[in-house]
Amino acid sequence: MSEDNDSERVAFWKKNFLGDTYRGLDAAAEEEDPSHPQDFTKEGLDAKEVVLCLSKSIVSLVSSVDGKPLFGCTGTVVNHVGSETWILTSATLVRKPGTDHDAYKADEVKIEVLLDNKRSINGRLAMCNLQYNIAVVTIELQFGLPIVALNDPPEYYSILGRPVVAVGRDSKSQVLLVRHGNMIRKRSKLDCSELLLCTCPVSKTFIGGLVMDFERRIIGISFFGEDTTPVMPIEIVSRCLKHFKKFSCPFLPQFFYVH
């Protein structure tokens, strides 16, 4: 690709996604991860183009309890059900500090959902699975937000080493964040044998966001690790969501739902 075309791609991203404040991009989000500024290399631009079609479906979520901030992470619009829009995210959003197996109930936690257009909407916890660390937050029906289909990849596809992209949205700047890396065949140190690993250098802002390959196949949702990034396979996430939609009842002892 020519140098002129590379420059045009950089200009496109700065204009359409980073806005006029791109020079100070992610000052807040990158405080956790200052070694990874926005990547305008060819690989970085390729990664951004992969997630271009998902931008409106990627949101930021911020939780608080009794007016005190609890956690901020990323979510993805995955369904419109009745009068609600479903957002998939991490159960870390509502997990009680210092615990692994206890989370706030819907009436105990306030959730703010920040959309790509900088609009803020109140969300409500609808489902939380602490074993798989996933949750669903619902908001008032938003047909303007496209759904991301969580299709199962081909058998054994997720464990193959391949380039992938992690997606997040910063809660302060509301900028779309993208990191690229590779899936690796290595066992996670966390207490969950189903977890996959990738080398995308994410910060905690990315927790609950999607990991996908360059063919736009969803691999899973990302968590946070010191050396590698744990990824919950989309097959497990999809199974939990289908069960919740069908039965609206517990799937596992650590899985609860709220009306």
Task: Specify the CATH number for the domain of residue 200.
Answer: 2.40.10.10
Binned at pLDDT 50, 70 and 90, residue 43 comes out as: low
DSSP string, 125-163: EEEEETTTTEEEEEEE--TTSPPPP-PPPSTTGGGS--E
Do 125 and 252 share a domain, yes or no? yes
Tell me if 189 is assigned to some domain. yes
Q: In this model, does residue 104 exceed pLDDT 90?
A: yes
Instruction: State the Cα–Cα distance between residues 149 and 44, nearest whole angstrom.
Output: 24
Residue 120's CB is within 10 A of a number of other CB atoms, namely 12
| pTM, full prediction | 0.81
Q: Which residues of 131-153 are buried (b: 16+ CB within 10 A; e: fewer)?
A: bbbbbbbbbeebeebeebebebb
Query: Within a domain: residue 50?
Result: no
Longest CA pairwise span in the chain (Å):
57
User: Is a pLDDT exceeding 90 seen at residue 45?
Assistant: no
Q: Are 47 and 165 in contact (CB under 8 A)?
A: yes
pLDDT at 254 over 60: no
Averaged pLDDT for residues 84-106: 94
- Indicate whether 251 pLDDT > 60: no
Comparing 63-67, 92-96, 192-196, 252-256, the range with the smallest average pLDDT is 252-256
Structural domain of 218: 157-236
Q: How does the average pLDDT of the chain come out, rounded?
A: 80
Q: How confident is the model at residue 28 (pLDDT cuts 50, 70, 90)?
A: very low
Q: For residue 47, is it within any domain? A: no
130 and 178 within one domain? no
Which is more confident, 239 or 70?
Answer: 70
Look at residue 26 in the predicted model and tell me its pLDDT.
37
Strands (E), the chain: 58-65, 68-81, 84-89, 110-114, 120-129, 134-140, 163-169, 176-184, 196-198, 210-213, 218-222, 229-233, 255-257
Shared-domain flag, residues 101 and 37: no
pLDDT of 2 higher than 60: no
CA distances from 31 to 24, 26, 28, 204, 233 (A): 12, 8, 5, 11, 28
Buried b (16+ CB within 10 A) or exposed e, 53-75: ebebbbbbbbbeeeeeebbbbbb
Least confident of 50-59, 109-118, 171-180, 242-251: 242-251
Distance CA 120, CA 132 (A): 27
Say if residue 190 is in the same domain as residue 106: no
Mean pLDDT (whole number) for 84-96: 96
Per-residue pLDDT at 184 exceeds 60:
yes
Share of the chain above pLDDT 70, in %: 72
**What does the pLDDT read at residue 96?**
95
Question: CB-side exposure of 148: number of CA atoms within 13 Å?
Answer: 32
Considering the domain architecture, whether residues 17 and 97 belong to the same structural domain is answered as no
Tell me the mean pLDDT in the region 10-23. 43
Residues 127 and 61 in one domain: yes
- What is the number of structural domains in the chain? 3
Asked if residue 213 has pLDDT above 60, the reply is yes
Q: Would you call 182 helix, strand, or coil by DSSP?
A: strand
